[in-house]
Amino acid sequence: MSPAFPGTAAGVARAFVAGELRATDVCEAALDRIGRLDAGIRAFVTIDADGALAAARALDARPDRAQVGPLAGVPVAVKDNICTRGLATTAGSAALRGFVPPYDATVVERLRAAGAVIVGKTNCDEFGMGSSTEHSACGPTTNPWDASRTPGGSSGGSAAAVAARLVPVALGSDTGGSIRQPAGFCGAVGMKPTYGRVSRYGLVAFASSLDQIGPFGLTVADTTRVLQVLAGPDPRDATSARDGVPWEPVLDGRVRGLRVGIPRRWLESGVEPDVSARFDAALDVFRGLGVSVVDIELPHARHAIAVYYLVATAEASSNLARYDGVRYGGRVGGDGALTEMYARTREAGFGSEVKRRVMLGTFVLGAGYYDQLYMKALQVRTLLTRDFDAAFARVDIIATPTSPTTAFRLGERLADPLQMYLADVFTAPAPLAGLPAVSVPCGFSTEGLPIGLQLMAPRFEDATILRMADAYEREQPWWRHSPPGLFLEGTSTAGRGRRRAGEPLDGGVDGDTDQRERQQRQQHREEAGHGHGDHADDARDDQDRQEHQPQHQLQQEAEQQERQEDQLQQQLQQAPDQADDQQAAKDQDAQGQHIEHGTLASSPRPAAPGYEPCSYPVTQILRGRRPEGSGGPSSGGAA
């Protein structure tokens, strides 16, 4: 593997511009890593090796490297509900199987214009509906820290891809928490921008008054860099805002005098002790930075889940009406009447969670229930927004844990939708009020699972939370801890040669790689103004290690986890879905693409009870014509 990658986006762009790295080498290193590791994680649903290498070669051929842009040569993964020209976009739904968009979403256009290299599309809950990436027609993604757990969702593929260092940055979308919750579960940084900050043109619509595209990164600086590329008005999205532009976040560590509000009462129930402990420790870090921490009230926040699931399902039922077999998506025909065709098409195209939401949303919009349910939800949404306005008259930022728990186990909440919905308890309010919110890693549980800290700010104050998150990250650089086992050469399963959960990169098993990474990271930190010397970092790492791995039990738990993972791997290997693979290959070939099924195509799908059968396989486009689009469905942000 080239030493070019893993690294940060800032480091890759700097080295490319300085002529120290070729974009092709970085791209090949990323593809190589994906090829070796993703069979165990399944973060990707499509890998575009061909397209990525062509883009990288074009960058290498440019004489004006300094002009390429802030993401020059940086490999990026894009959630599969964001349209990519010539590259399948399915939103995790069988309804969009085979859809190849004839256009790029605005965010994808902006990524490419900034020099990014799009390596593939990542797995997600169907149409963004879920909190675990288990509701995907492509099967679930696993958490890089523990293969028996979910990565969160719905943007679990993007979060896992960044956490596993398959790409330094990725795009997700967040309607009720789908960027922040998986970021928290996987130990990545994830940002939901202010509603309107980023264009939704080309995002497959779920709930249009809530949906927002945003970045994932390993560091706050990288996440900010991507958001700067994405942000700005777009004439193709009527809701994209002109406010707050130009927009130049400053990550200079200066947070002294800021006020952070804690909605104590709301946080009282249901938060796991490990999560509370890490949250309180983060508040101590704030205090040490000269930030004042005060208690605030958000009286209506406890209704946020109820409001969110009424508003989001109502909007979804309307947005998804387009998948009728005529205007959008595939069709299941027959000799019957038109309505029968609609019913058959939707029955075959949608998974059970999507059906549940379409039914719920249709119900709450129905005459007789509209006033009682939907209208009431809108009223409480307004009250919640006012709660935030009142709180922000006293504080600059509101902090909560990103989620009340660490990553839950695969399958654990599938049978109980309400439990699944409760994963969004702290993330749902921000989109309801249109606020920016970021999740930044704030440590590990005693089981070695990442924990996220959420920061929210008033609308268009995105820069304030990024500055605060960055200041925290300088003190506690948790991003330097990597998931066990994933840096070892030649291993691709989570169970082998594992490092203890949460163990830092430094002094790890693969000394050379780690040393290189360490130097690279130190350099990046210095570039970003993080001037800590090696000693300071060592001392901090030792302290970090002691803080989150004091337990003698950890070893035992790690061993138990290893056994469970081995079992899971065995289960997985018994359930390859060959028939579907072959069918999809035929379908794709019929569209004029030459698809070769690589390692991922044959990667087995979990046979765990409760999963719907995988309705299409992961595909790897290795070579062939760039398809010109199927002329099929598209979905815009201007809904």
Catalytic residues: 79, 154, 178
**Residue 131 token pair:** 């909190």
Nearer to ligand GLN, 52 or 171 (CB): 171
Q: Which stretch binds ligand GLN (CB under 6 A): 128-136, 330-338, 376-384, 395-403?
A: 128-136
Helix H or strand E segment including 3:
none
**215 near ligand GLN, judged by CB under 6 A:** no
Stretch touching ligand GLN by CB under 6 A, among 124-132, 454-462, 463-471, 620-628: 124-132
Q: At 211, phi and psi to the nearest 5?
A: -60, 135
Residue type present at position 479: W
Closest approach of Cβ 305 to ligand GLN, in Å?
10
Cis, bond preceding 352 (omega within 30 deg of 0): no
The stretch among 174-182, 213-221, 379-387, 409-417 that binds ligand GLN (CB under 6 A) is: 174-182
- Longest CA pairwise span in the chain (Å): 75
- Looking at 7, 92, 101, 130, which residue binds ligand GLN (CB under 6 A)? 130
Neighbours of 490 (CB within 10 A): 9
In the complex, what is the shortest distance from the CB of residue 495 to ligand GLN, in angstroms, rounded to a whole number? 29
**Residue 228 C-beta: closest distance to ligand GLN, Å:** 22
How far CA 175 is from CA of 46, 90, 270, 324, 553, in Å, comes to: 23, 18, 22, 23, 38
Choose, by CB under 6 A, the member of 178, 403, 520, 588 that binds ligand GLN. 178
Q: Which of 146, 424, 506, 581 binds ligand GLN (CB under 6 A)?
A: 424
Tell me the C-alpha distance between 99 and 105, whole Å: 14
131 binds ligand GLN (CB under 6 A): yes
Q: Which stretch in 23-31, 175-183, 389-397, 455-463 sits in contact with ligand GLN by CB under 6 A?
A: 175-183
Q: Please, which residue, 125 or 581, has the CB nearer to ligand GLN?
A: 125
Nearer to ligand GLN, 178 or 464 (CB): 178
**Token duo for residue 535:** 């000693």
Give which of 133, 201, 135, 137 is closest to 163, Cα–Cα. 133
Contact residue for ligand GLN among 8, 142, 158, 175 (CB under 6 A): 175
Q: Are strands 450-456 and 437-444 parallel, antiparallel or unpaired?
A: antiparallel
- Per-residue binding string, ligand GLN, 132-171, x by CB under 6 A, is ----------------------x-----------------
Query: Distances in Å between the alpha carbon of 178 and those of 190, 391, 431, 435, 516?
Result: 9, 24, 11, 14, 33
The span from the CA of 494 to the CA of 40, in Å, is: 7
Please tell me whether residue 81 binds ligand GLN under the rule CB under 6 A: no
The verdict on 315 binding ligand GLN (CB under 6 A) reads no
Q: Give 14 or 197: the residue with its C-beta nearer to ligand GLN.
A: 197
Contacts of 388 (CB under 8 A, 6+ apart): 298, 398, 429, 433, 435, 456, 458
C-beta of 353 vs 506, nearer to ligand GLN: 353
**194-213 residues near ligand GLN, rule: CB under 6 A:** 206
Given a contact cutoff of 8 angstroms between Cβ atoms, the answer to whether 2 and 25 are in contact is: yes
Work out how close the CB of 6 gets to ligand GLN at its nearest, in angstroms, rounded to a whole number: 27
Listing DSSP states for 62-73 in one string gives -S-GGGS-TTTT
405 binds ligand GLN (CB under 6 A): no
- Contact segment (CB under 6 A) with ligand GLN among 129-137, 403-411, 478-486, 554-562 equals 129-137
Q: How far is the CB of 126 from ligand GLN (least distance, A)?
A: 10
- Binder of ligand GLN out of 174, 517, 577, 581 (CB under 6 A): 174
* Cβ at position 424, least distance to ligand GLN in Å: 5
Shortest Å, Cβ 185 to ligand GLN: 12
In DSSP notation, 328-352 reads: SS-----SS-HHHHHHHHHHHHS-H
Q: How far apart are the C-alpha atoms of 572 and 575, rounded to whole Å?
A: 6
Q: Which residue is nearest to ligand GLN (CB)?
A: 178
Task: State the DSSP H helix or E strand holding residue 428, giving kind and residue range, or none if neither.
Answer: none
Regarding 177 and contact with ligand GLN (CB under 6 A), the answer is yes
Q: Which is nearer to ligand GLN, 24 or 155 (CB)?
A: 155
Question: Which CB sits closer to ligand GLN, 176 or 249?
Answer: 176
Residue among 40, 176, 443, 483 that touches ligand GLN (CB under 6 A): 176
Nearest distance in Å: CB 214, ligand GLN: 10
Total interface residues for ligand GLN by CB under 6 A:
13
**Could you give the strand order of the β-sheet that contains 259-262, starting from the edge strand earlier in sequence?**
292-295, 259-262, 397-401, 450-456, 437-444, 189-192, 212-217, 169-174, 75-79, 117-122, 44-48, 619-621
Which CB atom, from 416 or from 489, has the smaller least distance to ligand GLN? 416
Contact between 312 and ligand GLN per CB under 6 A: yes
Identified binder of ligand GLN from the candidate list 129, 198, 205, 241, rule CB under 6 A: 129
| Bridge pairing between strands 75-79 and 117-122 | parallel
Is residue 128 involved in binding ligand GLN (CB under 6 A)? yes
CA angle 343, 346, 352 (to 5 degrees): 120
- Residue among 130, 137, 116 nearest 71 (CA): 116
Q: Which positions lie near ligand GLN, rule CB under 6 A?
A: 128-131, 154, 174-178, 206, 312, 424
